[in-house]
Amino acid sequence: MKIGLIDVDGKSNYPNLALMKLSAWHKNKNDSVEFYGIERCDTVYMSKVFTFTADFNYLIMANNVIKGGTGYDYSVKLPEEIEHTSPDYSLYNCESAYGFLTRGCIRNCSWCIVPKKEGGIKANADITEFIGNKKSAILMDNNVLASDFGLNQIVKIIDMKIKVDFNQGLDARIIADNPDIAKLLSRVKWFKPLRMACDTLSQMDSIIRATNMLREYGCKPSNYFIYVLVKDIPDALERVEMLKELNLDPFCQPYRNFENNTIDYEAKRFSRWVNRKAIFKTVEWSDYK
């Protein structure tokens, strides 16, 4: 069979994990797999992660077209056999492995689609399922620290000397309340700074306590990367100023209204001010044009 793949979010910073798994699964069946061009295929898979990405509106010559991903329908999932296939990293020439140790989250944040898409926290895969011959892994878990399985996997990752980046951020509230987890994270080999999230002002206390604890146990580099949701500007401003004082690295993400896929202009402007570090370190928000 001839299989075509379409990464609808093609300009994303990350390779499409679902397409890499589909590619590996079909290649294991001796099917021909490549990104879709102009030749007719037996089956074409289209994956769209983001709801705001423009759709692929060109003619597709295929006997069967299958669409999936949150951008189309978050209820559509890979069959279990494919979900647990080690990805075809050659598709994007990946230097690191990609995967989920856990799925779901214990939180129920109103702005997050994870509770609807994946439900509560649960085990998903052992690191050996997708690490292959890679020495580093980008892990996309939404709340790995809330899972005993996830914590045991971190121990395994430490023992295997794998460098990791939990790119969705770690839950500062869990770290702040559990010194043993802070100690565990200090043993991890990070190939990017440890990431946490501070989506509301009420989370600042946990960020401060988690930061102090992580630094105390020697988790380096110590200028941790902090995701900051921007919905209310005064609230976000207070958070980023406190993070700056703590020598943390805030990265703002303006709130997106998923009902109409819009972002408030002022939230976008504020995020641009924070995320351009040369400006953020030298210009006050009140003076930013």
Instruction: Look at residue 143 and give its three-state secondary structure.
Output: coil
Does residue 179 lie within any of the structural domains? no
- pLDDT reported for residue 11: 72
Same domain, 65 and 101: no
Does residue 184 lie within any of the structural domains? no
CA–CA dist 38, 42 (Å, integer): 13
CA nearest neighbour of 124 among 91, 67, 193, 77: 77
CA–CA dist 134, 161 (Å, integer): 11
Last residue within a domain, chosen from 112, 134, 168: 168
Structural domain total, the chain: 3
CA–CA distances in Å: residue 175 to residues 8, 39, 180, 207, 213: 36, 52, 8, 9, 8
Same domain, 75 and 118: no
CA–CA dist 197, 207 (Å, integer): 8
Does residue 182 lie within any of the structural domains? no
Instruction: Name the helix (H) or strand (E) containing 167.
Output: none
Does residue 175 lie within any of the structural domains? no
CA nearest neighbour of 45 among 93, 78, 11, 75: 78
CA–CA dist 98, 16 (Å, integer): 9
Backbone angles phi, psi at 271, to 5 degrees: -65, -40
Q: Range of 11's domain?
A: 1-88
CA–CA distances in Å: residue 159 to residues 40, 89, 148, 152, 288: 47, 23, 17, 11, 47
Q: What is the pLDDT of residues 184-232, one digit of tens each?
A: 999 999 998 999 999 999 999 999 999 999 999 999 999 999 999 999 9
Q: What is the pLDDT of residues 150-186, one digit of tens each?
A: 999 999 999 999 999 999 999 999 999 999 999 999 9
Same domain, 156 and 218: no
Same domain, 74 and 110: no
Last residue within a domain, chosen from 88, 104, 136: 88
Same domain, 161 and 200: no
